[in-house]
Chain A
Amino acid sequence: MQTDPESGVQKRLVGAIEAAARTMPLRNGGERGLHALRARAGKPRSSRTFKVLAAAAVVAILGSGAVAAAHELGRDPVSDDFTRLHPDKSDIDDVGVEPHALVAEVAMPDGTRSRLFRTTQEGSKACWDVQQIRADGEQLGNVGFCRAVSSPSLDTVNGVIVGFVPGEDVVSVRATANGQSLDAAVTLNSFLLSPSVASPGMSVTLQPVGSAGEPAAPVVVVVGPT
């Protein structure tokens, strides 16, 4: 009897998927995974009140030059830019899904990981969010910021350096400081550098590289403070 080739393929496919599903070695399946997830979820998250205080602290540090920002931040802990890019502010905590994208991740010697998310909407400004996750998966906190996306930048955020390089088709960047160079992958024009590469106030030369391997003109950027 002739078998329909399509159903034969489907049968094999389903058999292979089910076999893989049955034998998949899961670390977080069942009660143990649920417990670990609950532990992560149970960790305190941000509060509006805290954001207001943090914003006020930022404003205090910035001084009179940030009066306009102070007004905005006083009215709402999130700036107008951020509000525009995040119509639903509760999405600030759900940075893994649109309109955010996970763009970079670095691991520290102690096992702590920093993950960088960026808003995906096109425009003159974008927002980034740095999550810190302990080796055991516990989330330690987030720091976010928004800035214009016109010129290269390096900001120290939550213990790592968040970089931005403008231009289409940039896939990596070579960062040089103190005679040492490091290549970092670039996604959505953003990248992360370990704090061992440079420190706030230091000048770093950034050389973006396109997908065909062609280097663009280098620029010098001063690492912004925390």
Chain B
Amino acid sequence: MEPTALSERPLYVQQTADARVDTSTDGEFNELYLRSYRRLVVVAYSVTESVAHAEEVVQDAYLQLLRRWDRVENKEAWLRRAVVSLATSWLRRQIIERRVKDATRREPDATACVNLRLMLTRLTPRQRAAVVLRYYEGLSEREIALALSCRAGTVKSLLSRAMAKLKEEYRDADRS
């Protein structure tokens, strides 16, 4: 086997330098953070099923928002979209690494979190995100479509299938 030589080299480097986040947005950003942090963690948790990773995802989303603050018009909608995207990206990687079960088993969640996780266990990650955005965040199908980067029709279908699964589960539980 012939070794494959490198054909190209790194093209840019980002290290510490002089560009800092604009702090003139402090008050508005702080207010948004304190008001929406927990709710966004719940949204992220619906996808990651891990509070620690949900928090990591949400912190990353806020950081990204802070860095593009002036360019984002609807900041809450942007945050929701970033949170779902980052959480889905995290989950995809975990699934590939086949560590999802281990990771969720390791984390000592509050009982209510475990209950919620069990309740949503039969739903796909996108269905879980859709029901949390609809019934907890109270978003419209159009707003959920923005958060999930899909069409409103897809949201309708995600919600309808999710609710059908949940109803079926409760019927089974009530019978037993």
* A binding-site residues for B, Cβ under 8 Å: 5-6, 8-10, 12-14, 16-31, 33-34, 36-37, 40-47, 49-51, 54-55, 58, 62, 66, 69, 73, 77-79, 81-82, 90, 92-94, 96-98, 101-105, 129, 137, 140-148, 151-153, 155, 157, 171, 185-187, 203, 205, 218-222, 224
A185 touches B93 (CB 8 A): yes
Residues of B near A73 (CB, < 8 A) are 11
B60 touches A141 (CB 8 A): no
A46 touches B92 (CB 8 A): no
Interface centre among A46, A73, A79, A148 (most CB of B within 10 A): A46
A98 to B84 CA separation, bound complex (whole angstroms): 12
Contact partner of B4 (CB less than 8 A), chosen from A46, A146, A221, is: A221
B12 touches A77 (CB 8 A): yes
Query: Knowing A18-B136, A96-B89, A105-B93 touch, does A90 contact B68 (C-beta < 8 A)?
Result: yes
A23 touches B113 (CB 8 A): yes
B9 touches A152 (CB 8 A): no
Q: Count CB-based A-B contacts (< 8 Å).
A: 250
A50 touches B61 (CB 8 A): no
A153 touches B113 (CB 8 A): no
By the criterion of a CB under 8 Å from any partner CB, how many residues of chain B are at the interface? 74
Contact partner of B110 (CB less than 8 A), chosen from A20, A36, A171, A218, is: A20
A190 → chain B, closest Cβ, in Å? 11
Which partner residue on chain B sits nearest A200 by CB separation?
B6
B61 → chain A, closest Cβ, in Å? 7
Query: Knowing A20-B42, A37-B59, A97-B82 touch, does A220 contact B3 (C-beta < 8 A)?
Result: yes
B14 touches A62 (CB 8 A): no
A54 to B97 CA separation, bound complex (whole angstroms): 34
B59 touches A13 (CB 8 A): no
Contact partner of B112 (CB less than 8 A), chosen from A16, A37, A142, A144, is: A16
Query: Knowing A20-B45, A148-B8 touch, does A143 contact B37 (C-beta < 8 A)?
Result: no
A19 to B119 CA separation, bound complex (whole angstroms): 12
Contact partner of B15 (CB less than 8 A), chosen from A104, A141, A148, is: A141
Q: Does B52 contact A (CB under 8 A)?
A: yes
A142 touches B14 (CB 8 A): yes
Residues of A near B167 (CB, < 8 A) are 5-6, 9
Interface string of B113-145 (1 = CB under 8 A from A): 101100100000000000110011000000000
Which partner residue on chain A sits nearest B67 by CB separation?
A93
A23 to B42 CA separation, bound complex (whole angstroms): 11
A150 to B171 CA separation, bound complex (whole angstroms): 53
Query: Knowing A94-B67, A96-B61 touch, does A16 contact B119 (C-beta < 8 A)?
Result: yes
Residues of B near A18 (CB, < 8 A) are 136
A82 touches B12 (CB 8 A): yes
Residues of A near B59 (CB, < 8 A) are 28, 33, 36-37, 40, 137
A50 to B16 CA separation, bound complex (whole angstroms): 9
A93 to B165 CA separation, bound complex (whole angstroms): 40
A151 to B7 CA separation, bound complex (whole angstroms): 10
Query: Knowing A98-B85, A220-B1 touch, does A92 contact B14 (C-beta < 8 A)?
Result: yes
A129 to B93 CA separation, bound complex (whole angstroms): 16
B51 touches A224 (CB 8 A): no
Residues of A near B23 (CB, < 8 A) are 42
B112 → chain A, closest Cβ, in Å? 4
